[in-house]
Amino acid sequence: MATLPFSATSAQSMSFSHSKFILGFMGFDRITHNPEMFLIRTPRSSYSRRKFSVKNVASNQKQKLKDSVKQEGGIAGDLGTFIPDSASIASSIKYHAEFTPSFSTEQFELPKAYFATAESVRDTLIINWNATYDYYEMMNVKQAYYLSMEYLQGRALLNAIGNLELSGAYAEALRKLGHDLEDVARQEPDAALGNGGLGRLASCFLDSLATLNYPAWGYGLRYKYGLFKQHITKDGQEEVAESWLEMGSPWEIVRNDVSYPVKFYGEVTSGADGSKQWVGGENVVALAYDVPIPGYKTKTTINLRLWSTKLAPEEFDLRAFNAGDHAKAYAAMKNAEKICYILYPGDESLEGKTLRLKQQYTLCSASLQDIIAHFERRSGEPVKWENFPEKVAVQMNDTHPTLCIPELIRILMDVKGLSWKKAWDITRRTVAYTNHTVLPEALEKWSLELMQELLPRHVEIIRRIDEELVHTIIAEYGTEDLDMLKQKLKQMRILDNVELPDSVAELLFKSEENSAVVPADEIESSVEENKPTAEEDESGLDTENEKGVTVDEAPKLPKVVRMANLCVAGGYAVNGVAEIHSEIVKSEVFNEFYKLWPEKFQNKTNGVTPRRWIRFCNPDLSKIITKWIGTEDWVVDTEKLVTLRKFADNEELQSEWKEAKRRNKIKVASFLKEKTGYFVDPDAMFDVQVKRIHEYKRQLLNIMGIVYRYKKMKEMSLEERKIKFVPRVCIFGGKAFATYVQAKRIVKFITDVGATVNHDPEIGDLLKVIFVPDYNVSVAEVLIPGSELSQHISTAGMEASGTSNMKFAMNGCIQIGTLDGANVEIRQEVGEDNFFLFGAQAHEIAGLRKERSEGKFVPDPRFEEVKAFVRSGVFGPYNYEELMGSLEGNEGYGRADYFLVGKDFPSYIECQEKVDEAYRDQKRWTKMSILNTAGSFKFSSDRTIHEYARDIWGIEPVVLP
């Protein structure tokens, strides 16, 4: 426990020191040494005054400022000339401990030390943030805006001070104050703003955008309780609300002056001039919270703006409250606030679906209002709206922000007074879409009825876009072959199972009785293509819009809005996130759109930031890489990692590499003991599969392979086991969506197997199975550096990309996997001999499912042996009939092994035997590890962002002077 000697005199002194610390960063040469008064003597630049709200700048003023910057050395002087030392940092920390209190003043314990330290770092980030956006404002640069429902950031403290190159100074300052930096950093909870790869990708992108000096903002929602905190009990996974904001977040800056109205329900009225107004309904306010995102070794600090919702004061029913009807008065407040309570609220009920749609619209509406306000402020008068796409690029991360398209049109038409033609043209040149799924049944769809009720004006606009699209299709293909045309319309329309507009119907049918409406059954395709996916049954396969597989036809097909089709029609670019994924997008998912607009489609293979995912989380390995490459430039130029290839056989490097890996394994072993109570041997192979729990990711294949391994061990003598099997610690982690019953069964199965295996004295340290609870970024930062084998074993053709595979490869972890997502490219770069490949390929999957439906599949005897072993009750009393039954039969929902676990099981266990063989040869294994790191050069998010900036957004780096 540390105690700070506070007094009036020391408070004055530290206040002065803290101000000196801040003013030094701001670029002032001298300040008085009177602790009671701070007088600015000589600013380095006429533009050095910090501004907390940016004023409108006319073009001639901008030119004067540009000239001023050139002549006088830039905004706020040269920020790089003041580098705080440990003494000034310690003063800053003490200042915040005293004057920005989140805790009582008596003691300086770890939680308080964390907040004070983070607030000290935030001071620097705010200075850089202001300088960055003052400069962007002045230069009126084109800016990219990244909209995502998720940001999986992880802890910010070590990442921020690492990017600022202040790790050593902060460590020394905290030592002086009685604390260790690592201990302080562990007090930070992970920000509960995301769940899986979608959110982590968004956070990696923000890091790279800042590091590469690209002008950009991120937009998201500020979830009060996140997805959930996962507890593992005897019953499997249990969910409780996240508490990451319980003590507040020192990183966020609430902008009480930045808020926008967001409307739901109501009605649309028409003016005499044909203009439309959306009136009445339910009104909430979206309030901005900013999170500064620093670049690595650069002054650039960009912004993540998160929206929180609240009730406008005028909407509060004071009359009802004073009349004693508190519930009625409080209802509107709760309705507004709950929009940002939970990430992906369960959508089995109408209320849940409504809440999800409200979330998506809130993100789109508030963000676009903000973006337009930025544009207007920078443009001056008069605003030239035709220039909007020249200054703004909006990237939709998956289909969640699809409502950006009709919302931008609504604002341009109804608020700014533009015509449909201009608004539609501007939108199509502004918005771009990243696709994250290859499953047609997983593409997001919304009930037209629900959307009509919640967003009536947007439905009008979507109908207009659909009509435009239909006319485009007819113009492209003509009306000679009506059957072909109907099929095109069925596949491509935004509105599914909805009558064609009258203007279109009369082109297709000459007879009077068919001139107004095309009957739905005449343009329907097969039952398989129209199987219902909007409603989720017990399987819970709806997690982040990944729907289950349904084969029963609904009596009446629902009218839906196909959000992905709207994205493709309303945007100017569509990209997949791995080479194989992008090809499937073009050849299958959006094949008809690709034929119509081939120029829209691109590939942008995902990447991960090498700062967080190796430089900061694996310092031991980073030092070795720097030593052998001869420079630390690989942290921002990962192509330099290729240099390691020529040293892969060097015994000295291999020795250093193995030692670094073992130190990381010891950290993992300590972590597992703390989190689960299990002790593991750090000399065993650490075999890891950590990712969202989902049937297509096939954690079930992994655990069934472990069950087979365990059964074979039990049938052998101790000597035979040691000869046959390499000792393994099999580590799982990940969350199953709260209503995804099958995924939760898999979690329960893993933990039951672990409970049996880990307490079996005959097996001892030869096999351990551990499920790490509440997997998140901070857990990943511990596990990944100590991992030796990483499993990426999804059914081929079903994983869009994956990014954890890139993080593992970057840290020298060898992978076992299918040819799916980015695995294909990783295997190409690390070398086929350094990747353990098994399983069916993407082009075979449809045929294998057809073979199964025809009753031609013959399961491997080893697979049947494992199922029988599970059913024998060896892993406890839980009834696994439903789980095992899902792998059996030839057809039917929840059966027939849709994800081909049984089909790939033989090649999987045979491949695992090759893994054991390779691990016994530690020289070979270490070489493979080195070559995995060397081959991961392609998978930096820096490379991905360069490609987005060049090929999609059309933005250039902007380096502060």
- Active-site residues, by number, are 436, 691-692, 697, 803, 807
Burial label, 638 (beta-carbon count in 10 A; 0-12, 13-18, 19+): buried
Measured distance CA(343)–CA(607) in Å, rounded: 24
Q: Is 802 left (phi over 0), alpha (psi -120 to 50) or beta?
A: left
Measured distance CA(549)–CA(536) in Å, rounded: 10
The angle that helices 901-920 and 699-714 make with each other, rounded to 10 degrees, is 60
Burial label, 30 (beta-carbon count in 10 A; 0-12, 13-18, 19+): exposed
φ, ψ at 662 (rounded to 5°): -65, -40
Question: Can you give 907-942 as a three-state secondary structure string?
Answer: HHHHHHHHHHHHHHCHHHHHHHHHHHHHHHHHHEHH
Is residue 819 a contact partner of residue 796, using CB atoms and an 8 Å limit? Answer: yes
Is residue 408 a contact partner of residue 426, using CB atoms and an 8 Å limit? Answer: yes
Q: Which residues have C-beta within 8 Å of that of residue 730, sequence separation ≥ 6? A: 687, 689, 702, 706, 767, 768, 769, 770
What does each C-alpha distance from 941 to 304, 416, 579, 610, 822 come to in angstroms? 17, 37, 15, 8, 13
Paired strand residues for 267: 279
Q: Around 84, how many Cα atoms within 13 Å sit in the side-chain half-sphere? A: 33
What does each C-alpha distance from 484 to 337, 339, 478, 575, 764 come to in angstroms? 49, 44, 10, 27, 65
Is residue 250 a contact partner of residue 290, using CB atoms and an 8 Å limit? Answer: no
Measured distance CA(153)–CA(204) in Å, rounded: 8
Which of 898, 891, 902, 900 is CA-nearest to residue 864? 902
Cα-to-chain-centroid distance, residue 876:
37
Burial label, 365 (beta-carbon count in 10 A; 0-12, 13-18, 19+): buried
Which of 589, 559, 593 is CA-nearest to residue 472? 593
Which of 851, 836, 768, 59 is CA-nearest to residue 387? 59
Tokens (6 digits) for 755: 């409970």
Residue 136, H or E segment: helix 110-139
Tokens (6 digits) for 744: 């939760």
3-class secondary structure, 816: strand
**Structural Rg of the chain based on CA atoms:** 29
The count of residues in the chain is 961
Paired strand residues for 217: 145, 303
Which of 437, 316, 314, 309 is CA-nearest to residue 361? 309
Paired strand residues for 753: none
Paired strand residues for 770: 731
What number of other Cβ atoms are within 10 A of residue 318's Cβ? 10
Measured distance CA(750)–CA(618) in Å, rounded: 28
Measured distance CA(92)–CA(115) in Å, rounded: 12
Q: Provide the pairing of β-strand 728-733 with 685-690.
A: parallel
